[in-house]
Structure 1
Amino acid sequence: MSQPLSVLPALDDLDLRILEQMQADSSLTNQELASRVHASAPTCLRRVRRLVQEGVIEKQVAVLNPVKVGNSLTAIIEITLDVQTAEQLDAFEASIASVAEVTQCYRVSPGPDFIVIMQVRDMPAYHAVAHRVFTSQANVRNVRTFFSVHRAKFDTRTVISPSGA
């Protein structure tokens, strides 16, 4: 969720260095992080806590290889609804957000209403989820699915630019 520019937190050079290091490896200890960003450990800890409190850092997670945990099929799905009122869009978004196999969901324009990324074990698993999630909803007009045959790039990093850039 993006914030209006007037309430974006001010990020200085130290904040940016901390964020870059944490995006590369969030498992660093505070001491290791402080050493890498050339700051004291207490300063680094205060900064990280502030970045979390302000919502700049949403969460820290382990990124898993989907194939190694048995989810070798990636589906990229375009979804168009029959009715696109704010209430209908919000309702669909809420329902899709509760589906464990869905890893990403974007409301887009122009074109379909949503792009959804789903990780599943295989084609039968995809069909089961698609039937449960898409065909059971009366407001879904069209579902178009693409299946990944090769993942050329996957990254969780967000490009960060200095404040005012």
Structure 2
Amino acid sequence: MNESIILDDLDRRILNALQIDAARTNNELAASVHASPPTCLRRVKRLIDAGVITRQVAILAPEKIGTPLTAIVEITLDRQGAEHMAEFESLVAGETAVLQCYRVSPGPDFVMVVQVTDMPAYHALAHRLFASQANVRNVRSFFSMHRSKFETRIAL
């Protein structure tokens, strides 16, 4: 069940600050949101416990670490029963090159964001995930020429 948590102004300031830089210390965070360090720490813990903050990560530059090719992939399955959809999602979950996978409607069944080193690496991934799967009916791949915006921050 997706229950919303009521966020006050301080919660929103904390969440905005963490979305910009989650690596700052609690004291730095507290100073930036105009709260005491104990209050800030307690609020962050509450936001984590409530599932508002699901994890804190470092965002890497793909081109700097050898995975510059981004593909946006649409997948349509032959059979769309719940067990078939879950089976495909399970297969995709095991692929580290798949950064995001969404079940969508209408149109294709899934849209994925894939990050790989080059076209041969994409071809190998496509063979593993799509060509060798009997239930995959259609695959459309779009390759990024330029990323004009990439944001992880959710407006509050």
Give the shorter-chain TM-score range.
Answer: over 0.9
1:73 aligns with 2:55: no
Which position in structure 1 is the counterpart of 2:115? 119
Residue 133 of structure 1, aligned match among 129, 139, 148: 129
Q: CA RMSD in A?
A: 0.9
Give CA deviations for 1:93-133 in whole Å, capped at 9, x if unaligned. Answer: 12111110000101111000000000000000000111011
**1:90 and 2:97 matched:** no
CA displacement, residues 73-105 of structure 1 (integer Å, 9 cap, x when unaligned) = 000000000000111111111211111000010
Q: Which residue of 1 aligns with 2:151?
A: 155
Give the whole-Å Cα distance in 2 for the aligned partners of 1:98 and 1:43: 39
Q: Which residue of 2 aligns with 1:9?
A: 5
Unaligned 5+ runs, structure 2: none
Residue ranges of structure 1 left out of the alignment (5+ in a row) = 161-165
Counterpart Cα distance in 2 of 1:91 and 1:73: 26
Number of positions where the alignment pairs a residue of Structure 1 with one of Structure 2: 156
After TM superposition, the structure 1 stretch with the greater mean CA deviation from structure 2, 93-102 or 23-32, is 93-102
What TM-score do you get using the length of structure 1 for normalisation?
0.92
State the 1:145 CA deviation.
0.3
> TM (normalized to structure 2)?
0.98
SS in 2 for 1:8: coil
Aligned to 1:39: 35
Q: How many Å separate the matches in 1 of 2:129 and 2:107?
A: 21
Counterparts of 1:94 and 1:47, CA distance in 2: 34
Structure 2 residue 100 is the aligned partner of structure 1 residue 104 = yes
